[in-house]
């Protein structure tokens, strides 16, 4: 694993003009310091990327809560995949519904090529990743994050002081120590908790902010075919992330609502309130999730709350 990481990053640095003789006795630390120079941000702008498959209803809940609750929000790119013509039509509906807002819908043809291409075309040097079963349950301002250097700190909106139970692991989890660094944010150590949990996982695609250039280089250095294998294979670069501090808000701002399952690459603990077909039928009946019911909920309550629906204008 370490040799894989070292070789891939060295090869990337070679292309950037670095000489291998600059690597000293501790290649991990020296490479990390070089990487901070290579991927240094030219701007503080943010682009948001959300992955979605066959879940127009839930994607609408995310987008509606995003634009309502995030001040100074960024443009957002939706990389979506559909399995039937009926699901494709639901995304066509969404594209029209959000046509007046900065949302770009990208129909997936080859996931790896599509996400790399989308990031290459972006000028923003920070990127947030989201998944479509998330929504915003807290008010926040993207300007809070402008001074966070993603090469030094890993910001996760899916972490918060209220996260003491893992729905995916189905058990209570220990919470790390927190240091208040601003009116709205806390820092913590990803390696403080010794047992694997949400608090020992610094690389993810559910509400995490990264350096666009850095994550792009790492995507090019590994293989994946969907969001789950992307997240899994990025763990090869864990040595370069685990040394950074984590940053979170007081409470989880983007809970995942565990209603159904679309990924096919691994196990996920789900509640099964609604099937994809049921949600599609409700969408075609001009319904939408009443996302406002989730506002202010702590993550343990939000994650297991059953959707209610309202008419979609």
For residue 213, give the CATH number of its domain: 3.90.550.10
| Rounded Cα distance, 294 and 307, in Å | 9
Q: Are residues 220 and 244 in the same domain?
A: yes
DSSP result, 144-210: GGTT--TTTEEEEEEEETT--EETTTTEE------EE-SSSEEEEETTS--S-SGGG----SSSEEE
Of 303, 302, 232, 221, the closest CA to residue 263 belongs to 232
Q: Quote the CA–CA distance of 134 and 147 in Å, as a whole number.
A: 25
Q: Are residues 32 and 58 in the same domain?
A: no
Same domain, 31 and 111: no
Let me know whether 20 and 61 are in one domain.
no
Residue pointed to by tokens 């066509």: 92
Do residue 19 and residue 55 come from a single domain?
A: no
Domain with 153, as residue range(s), is: 46-311
Cβ 45 vs Cβ 123: under 8 Å: yes
Given a cut of 70, is residue 62 above it in pLDDT?
Answer: yes
pLDDT tens profile 27-61 = 445 555 666 677 777 899 999 999 999 999 999 99
Q: Element (H or E) spanning 3, and its range?
A: helix 2-15
Listed in sequence order, the residues at least 6 apart from 60 whose beta carbon sits closer than 8 Å to its beta carbon are 94, 97, 283, 288, 289, 312
Residue where the block lists tokens 């947030």: 128
Residues 134 and 194 in one domain: yes
174/253 same-domain check? yes
Contact call for residues 242 and 196 (beta carbons, < 8 A):
no
Q: What is the pLDDT of residues 121-166, one digit of tens each?
A: 999 999 999 999 999 999 999 999 999 999 999 999 999 999 999 9
Domain count, the chain: 2
Does the pTM exceed 0.85?
yes
Question: Domain check: are 79 and 115 in the same one?
Answer: yes
Answer for the pair 123, 11: CB distance below 8 angstroms, yes or no. Answer: no
Q: Which SS3 state, helix, strand or coil, does residue 255 take? A: coil
Tell me the average pLDDT across 95-100.
Answer: 97
CA 299 to chain centre: 16
Answer yes or no: do 21 and 101 share one domain. Answer: no
Query: How many of the other CB atoms lie within 10 Å of CB of 29?
Result: 13
Give yes or no: residues 18 and 116 share one domain: no
| Order of all β-strands in the sheet with 76-81 | 103-107, 76-81, 46-53, 126-131, 208-211, 153-160, 245-249, 185-189, 179-180
Q: Please give the average per-residue pLDDT across 108-112, as a whole number.
A: 97
12/122 same-domain check: no
Give the count of alpha carbons within 13 A of 119, CB side only.
23
Closest CA to 135 of 273, 260, 270, 258: 258
> How do residues 171-220 score in pLDDT, each as one tens digit?
999 999 999 999 999 999 999 999 999 999 999 999 999 999 999 988 98
The reply to whether 100 and 203 lie within a common domain is: yes
């Amino acid at each position: 694993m370490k040799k894989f990481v070292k070789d891939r990053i060295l090869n990337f640095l070679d292309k950037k003009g670095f000489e291998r003789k600059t690597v000293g006795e501790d290649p991990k630390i020296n490479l990390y310091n070089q990487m901070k120079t290579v991927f240094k941000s030219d701007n503080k702008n943010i682009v948001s990327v959300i992955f979605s498959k066959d879940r127009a209803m839930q994607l609408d809940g995310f987008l509606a809560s995003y634009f309502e609750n995030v001040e100074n929000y960024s443009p957002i790119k939706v990389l979506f995949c559909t399995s039937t013509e009926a699901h494709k039509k639901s995304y066509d509906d969404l594209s029209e519904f959000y046509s007046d807002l900065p949302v770009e819908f990208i129909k997936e043809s080859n996931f790896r090529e599509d996400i790399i291409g989308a990031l290459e075309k972006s000028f923003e040097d920070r990127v947030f990743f989201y998944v479509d079963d998330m929504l915003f349950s807290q008010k926040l301002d993207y300007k809070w994050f402008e001074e966070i250097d993603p090469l030094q700190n890993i910001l996760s909106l899916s972490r918060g002081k209220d996260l003491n139970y893992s729905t995916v692991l189905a058990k209570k989890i220990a919470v790390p120590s927190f240091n208040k660094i601003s009116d709205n944010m806390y820092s913590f150590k990803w390696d403080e908790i010794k047992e694997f949990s949400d608090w020992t996982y610094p690389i993810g695609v559910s509400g995490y902010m990264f350096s666009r250039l850095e994550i792009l280089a790492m995507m090019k250095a590994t293989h994946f075919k969907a969001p789950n294998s992307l997240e899994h294979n990025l763990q090869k670069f864990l040595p370069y992330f685990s040394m950074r501090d984590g940053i979170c808000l007081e409470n989880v701002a983007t809970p995942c609502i565990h209603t159904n399952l679309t990924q096919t690459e691994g196990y996920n603990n789900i509640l099964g309130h609604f099937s994809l077909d049921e949600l599609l039928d409700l969408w075609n009946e001009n319904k939408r999730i009443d996302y406002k019911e989730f506002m202010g909920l702590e993550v343990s309550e939000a994650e297991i709350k059953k959707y209610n629906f309202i008419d979609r204008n």
